[in-house]
C-alpha cells in the first residue's frame, strides 16, 4: 500500500456545490489515489455532529456522488467524526476523505524490500506555506523550486 492520508474540508453555511469533485474523480480514474472512506457531516448550532447522505449537492443532475457510495473501509468511527466536527464552526458541513496515495505504493514497496522504513511523516499546512512564501517575498528572498 501507499501512504494513507485524510482531509477534512469545511463548507461554510452548508454550501456544498460539488466544485472540485470532478477533480477528485479524475485522481481516482487516473490511479493516483484510491478513496478508502468518504463521508459528510454537519455541525448543528447546538454543537452536535450528524452524518449527511452522499448526493448531487448542486441539484444539477450532472455529478452523482453515488460512485462513492459504499466507500467505507471502516477506518472512520464516530470518534473521528466528532473530532472532525470539533474543527467546524456551527452551521457548517465538512467532507471527510481518507485516501491511499497509489502513486507512492511502488516506491514504498521497493524501499521496504531494501530494508528501509518510514520513521516520520507530516504535512505542512497550506496556510503556513503561503505565509512563509509571502514573508520571503516581502523580505526580497526567493523560493527554490
**Distance of alpha carbon 90 from alpha carbon 94, whole angstroms:** 11
pLDDT digit string, tens, across residues 48-102? 888 876 654 545 555 455 556 556 677 888 888 888 888 899 999 898 999 999 9
Provide the pLDDT for residue 110. 92
Higher pLDDT, 99 or 17: 99
Quote the pTM value: 0.73
Three-state SS letters, 53-110: CCCCCCCCCCCCHHHHCCCECCCCCHHHHHHHHHCCCCCCEEEEEEEEEHHHHHHHHH
Amino acid at each position: 500500500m501507499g501512504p494513507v492520508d485524510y482531509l477534512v474540508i469545511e463548507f461554510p453555511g452548508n454550501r456544498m456545490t460539488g466544485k472540485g469533485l470532478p477533480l477528485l474523480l479524475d485522481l481516482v480514474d487516473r490511479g493516483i489515489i484510491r478513496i478508502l472512506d468518504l463521508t459528510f457531516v454537519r455541525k448543528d448550532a447546538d454543537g452536535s455532529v450528524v452524518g449527511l447522505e452522499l448526493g448531487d449537492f448542486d441539484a444539477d443532475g450532472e455529478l452523482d456522488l453515488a460512485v462513492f457510495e459504499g466507500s467505507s473501509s471502516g477506518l472512520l468511527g464516530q470518534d473521528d467524526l466528532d473530532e472532525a466536527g470539533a474543527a467546524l464552526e456551527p452551521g457548517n458541513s465538512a467532507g471527510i476523505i481518507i485516501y491511499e496515495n497509489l502513486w507512492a505504493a511502488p516506491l514504498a514497496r521497493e524501499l521496504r524490500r531494501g530494508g528501509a522504513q518510514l520513521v516520520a511523516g507530516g504535512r505542512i499546512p497550506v496556510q503556513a506555506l503561503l505565509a512563509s512564501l509571502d514573508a520571503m517575498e516581502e523580505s526580497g528572498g526567493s523560493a527554490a523550486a
